[in-house]
Structure 1
Amino acid sequence: MSSGNSAATRSEVERSIAAVWRLESAKIIAVLARMLRDVGLAEELAQDALLAALEHWPVDGLPDKPAAWLMTTAKHRALDRLRAEAMQARKHEELGQDMLARGDAVVPDFVDGLDAARADDIGDDLLRLIFTACHPLLSRDARVALTLRLLGGLSTEDIARGFLANEATIAQRIVRAKRTLQAAQVPFEVPQAQERQQRLASVLEVIYLIFNEGYTATAGADWMRPALCDEALRLGRVLAALMPDEAEVLGLVALMEIQASRSAARLDARGEPVLLLAQDRGRWDHLLIRRGLTALAQAQQQARARGESLGPYALQAAIAACHARAPRAEDTDWLAILALYDALAELQPSPVVELNRAVALSMASGPGLGPAAALAIVDELAAEPALQRYPWLASVRGDLLARLGRASEAAAAFELAADLSRNEAEARLMRQRAAQLKA
């Protein structure tokens, strides 16, 4: 233990534990799942390690290597479970041998759960965990919810918010998904070519949602969770290396690279959020932009080679590319972005896509365009049940009202956005915008 850590208060230690857990939980669960072949049990034993940390660290102080402590403790829990199962299996085997010696029928049929992981073409426990959680035995929503829980370290409440769904519904999906995988004894592996293709859409969606949670956290004190963005990017790059001919894999990687390029500019010197049009583009990471534009060009090439249109991730990457190519905010090609959102809305219609399309429409110039036309769309979207408590609907409405000179209405909309948001930085930003309009 570090000698200086003993003076830390219990609350400080618990905050440290929470921070380490957010960063390391997915890796711990993935390693245990490979050992145990049971993602539900892996999460349970990982949680046991977390509880051990909550019990010991406030008393003993923070270990020098907190992540290693959690991983080692979790592995010990898993090994204890495997030893207990092996001992039970040996007892059954001895009983079977006694039955055979007496001429009785031998009933037990054993599965060797202690073998090393089956060989496959990706040596990455986290990616194995994604493909396991995205097994076709599960519904689409269950696959995404389970993987976000296991890999994103998100609470059930945060996942429900991301889905714009009821928390109890999400909790039930996760419990049922783990039970289904356990009952079917789904192998912990990356599937081979044909089955891998069947699971790809869910895998991409999971990586996308993990990245989004890192890019703009749904809850908590921080505007961003960079470790989640980094993890999603890493998983996306590994997947692209495995499936280089898949346009949508490349499209998702392109989207994440370009979005991640803005990270440094999304916070000011005080750590407060800075929205896209106000960002210092000189702080954008141009290496990541180049990587993203290259991946987008490859996705477009793959789609053309197959005679296919761009998929939703590649379309979103093309939208991000329009922003990345503009030296200044006022140079943005909003008509091109609007056309891309039109294509995305046709391919993958949703209230959130329509809200983003309204933003593009508000920024474009021409007949039937601009903030007044966009406000009419946003006001219609306010009746959508899925957006009733969506803070960005109120925020967009506030921005449109402000641009139309309706300051008091805009301030009220920003205050509503702040009340709806569970992200502290996001809520502060909305209240600041409201205060500026009232000044």
Structure 2
Amino acid sequence: MLQVSFIRENKDEVIKALAKRNMDATSMIDEVVTLDEDRRKIQTELDNTLAESNTLSKEIGNLFKSGKAQEANVLKEKTTQLKEASKSLGEALNSTADKLNDLLYKIPNIPNTIVPSGSTDADNEEVYREGDIPTLHDGAMPHWDLAKKYDIIDFELGNKITGAGFPVYKGKGARLQRALIAYFLDKNTEAGYTEYQLPHLVNEASGFGTGQLPDKEGQMYHVTEDNLYLIPTAEVPGTNIFRDVVLNENDLPVAITGYTPCFRREAGSYGAHVRGLNRLHQFDKVEILRVEHPDSSYVALDGMVEHVKTILKELKLPYRILRLCGGDLGFTSALTYDFEVFSTAQDKWLEISSVSNFETFQANRLKLRFKNSTGKNELAHTLNGSSLALPRVLAGILENYQTPDGIRIPEVLKPYTGFDIID
């Protein structure tokens, strides 16, 4: 959530920056400024009214002590009027503050200056590419056919048990999934991230804290009786560890990692691009999260990008990195790099990771602060990245490592799988 003081002091710059997201935020920003002015005016009036009431109360006490009861009773009538005015002002203040907060929750983060302009994913900027795209043998298959041929993923059984988008992993398919999770976690902890096991459901406050609510409410599974939400990513419970927390400056940076299943309704998804593992309602993902000093968060972002690169190099998968344009940027992000692996059998790029800096946007919602060197509380910066999401990594391995004799296992995963080939 953007800070009101920042919007008020940089109104034109905020409107211009949000235009990079292809939105005209003029009316929303004008309304924020107006509501803030109203709120501050009411607050001042309330403070003055309360101060006057307190002064009169002391004066009334002194008058009674001096035997001037008649004068005291006259003032008592006035304090009654002031109390009624204070009550009305308090209600008006709460109403205005609620309207202001509701509006602030709807305004996305300001894109970093290096975010390219653009409307769709076609306008994203490729900044890096590595790895040779393999030449597959005649008769090579997409992963959904390979999964059926080698009986390692059963999409139809998942559809029977739950519905489309909930696959069942079997045998070596399940072992490969488990191997990837363990490998990703090991790589992350070796890089200094502390491993956490996190809840798979969160409350409403957690959803608002990281920006999934109200922006992505329709994409989240909602347990209505308990008003809990199935997590769309470990980012939500992981970042909310620090909700309403004040860290010491020397506690920074904080780096954590965790594996969770993720649940996304993906309402309206259909077509060839969602076949197989390309888009699921339930999938596994290992996440990395950081809480950083504002002065070092972009150095940390570059470090996270380099970390994900090392994993893909070891897996020997062809990949590229995109800097997302304003129109494709997530609601909470100031700058995002997407990683895509090339699916040779499908002849297309598949997104496997997003690494983002949210600057103070989430921290302001979370009230996540640190005490700086002057002793003043300051908003921290939050960052997160997939390291990595499993479905499309698995799809890339199945398709790019297939041979006429079976699917080879990447060398780095063999100690985790205990087998060399799926045949």
TM-score by length of 1: 0.29
- Select the structure of larger CA radius of gyration: 2
More strand by share: 2
More helix by share: 1
**Larger relative contact order (C-alpha < 8 A, sep ≥ 6)?**
2
